[in-house]
Amino acid sequence: MTNHYGDGVAHANIARKVVDSPDDSLWQRYIQIGTPWLPLQTVLMLPLVANDWMWRTGVAGSIVSMISFVVAAVALFLLAKSFYRKEDSPSKELLPLVSAGIFLLNPSALYMQTTPMTESVFMAALALAIYSLQRWAEEKTARRLIVAALAMLAATLARYEAWPVAAFSVALVALAAGGDLKKRVKATAVFAAIAAAGPLYWLWHNWTIYGNAFEFLSGPHSARGLFLQNEARLGWAKIFVGHAFVDLLLMIVTAAVCIGPFLILLGSTGLARTLIVKRRSLLEESPALLLLIPFFFHAVSLYRGEIQIFPLSAFGLHNVRYGLPHLLAVALFAPSCVLFFKSKARRVAIIALCSIIALQYGYLISEGPSQIAVYQEGYRNGVNARPARERARVCSWLMENPVKPVILMNTGALGPIVSGGGLRYSDIIHEGTLRWHAINDRIPEDVSTVIIQEGDPLDERFRENAALSRDLAERFQKKLSVGKISVFRRN
């Protein structure tokens, strides 16, 4: 169940390419990171994917996600403790525990933290950055500011949702920094220099490797590029482009599918109370408000057509997991609802809130844990979809009929066949190796097996140059819903 997401398999495969490269140079290993996925999860997996079992099962990524889940929970608890510290209530010490409980017991978060996906890593870095900024707003120490900037740097290397958070956090530091103008400028410059290093590095990475600093945004493997390649299948997403109200509503529904509609309502109510009651000290509490920015980033991305989301199970699930990071904001603000009640009634209100949380999460898993939306998204698209089932049959044949190295194949779309079919990247001449680009009119003499998916770059090279297929005999063919996969052996 932990390795159902195709993206999760790809994350583990990218890390394995780095450690299992047939090329010895550090640069050739480095460029396997590729684009458009940000590199933090890949780098964190590097010590683990060298183990064959951890790589093929996805456990290498699961361990990173589980550790991140714990970090996110602790950071959220500490943030809530700081956020509610000034409340005049004998039960205020319970509110951070409620926040942590909302996060820790969420079924969607519990499933995703077992996968090699990037959501848990992002939530950990974001929660740690916001907590550190909150502490800096209280203490105004250089150490707190640097820790916050480093955590924000990590978040910008985990997911793109952190980029606007980092930009707004620079403005927050400029406004909240105490002292004279010189001290304000210095604090802002230090924070901005560290936090901006992540996006600037990623622009350099894309420019150096692809000649386009925005390859992650407009390249063939970007969300925009994949949409154009699959426009016939994803054409429904056009109805959300350019409609701000519809996009906001869609994001609310997506968050509700992952978190629960009652908790979304409680979180919104708690946020409204915070804005009203703390309006005079809002600048001091403003780091917590940065948790809202990923929601609006997603809404704007939908408006511009940069991402596609469909969260309703009856019509298929697509990127429903994008609603999960908003759990941090809901978990932080939802306990504020009990503060509407007077002191004597607040303990009863906390019990009622905990009961609502239990009922909401109980409902989410009422049909079984495997029926939650984030699980079904991975299962339907990465396991039960026709292309995934067809690739699984190819993997089964490869396991039953091991092929000898050296293997020539394009591992982009066929990455799941590498990890699932018992192959190793060190035995493969693939698009990320030097030898791939040196092939002209003849296949290298040491190549014994060629694996081609109809329509992939290797298939196109064979069609353009018939001499490449000389001395090859087809051993296996699997027809796909689109094209076919063929395994050739040198005669």
370 and 414: one domain?
no
Q: Among the three residues 379, 410, 441, which one is the final residue of a domain in this structure?
A: 379
Nearest 5°: the CA angle 14, 304, 149 is 55
The values of phi and psi at residue 152, to 5°, are: -65, -35
Residue 64 lies in a domain: yes
Q: Among the three residues 332, 358, 379, which one is the final residue of a domain in this structure?
A: 379
CA distances to 100, 165, 259, 297, 388 from 324, rounded to whole Å, are 15, 16, 7, 14, 25
Q: Among the three residues 318, 349, 379, which one is the final residue of a domain in this structure?
A: 379
Q: Which residues of the chain have pLDDT under 70?
A: 88-90, 229-236, 315, 480-482
Whole-number Å distance between alpha carbons of 101 and 351: 13
Residue 471 lies in a domain: yes
**Domain around 413:** 386-490
Residue 67 lies in a domain: yes
393 and 369: one domain?
no
325 and 412: one domain?
no
261 and 406: one domain?
no
This prediction has a pTM of 0.94
409 and 356: one domain?
no
219 and 267: one domain?
yes
Do the strands 428-429 and 407-409 form a parallel or antiparallel pair, or are they unpaired?
parallel
81 and 30: one domain?
yes
Residue 1 lies in a domain: no
217 and 319: one domain?
yes
Give pLDDT, residue 179: 80
Give pLDDT, residue 1: 85
Give pLDDT, residue 181: 87
SS3 category, 341: coil
87 and 119: one domain?
yes
Residue 448 lies in a domain: yes
95 and 152: one domain?
yes
Whole-number Å distance between alpha carbons of 87 and 378: 42
Give pLDDT, residue 484: 86
103 and 206: one domain?
yes
Instruction: Determine how many CB atoms are found less than 10 A away from the CB of residue 220.
Output: 13
Residue 455 lies in a domain: yes
Give pLDDT, residue 426: 94
Residue 405 lies in a domain: yes
361 and 460: one domain?
no
**Mind listing the pLDDT tens digit for each residue in 86-134?**
876 667 789 999 999 999 999 999 999 999 999 999 999 999 999 999 9
Q: Are 125 and 195 in contact (CB under 8 A)?
A: no
Q: Which of 71, 74, 75, 97 is nearest to 84 (CA)?
A: 97
Domain count, the chain: 2
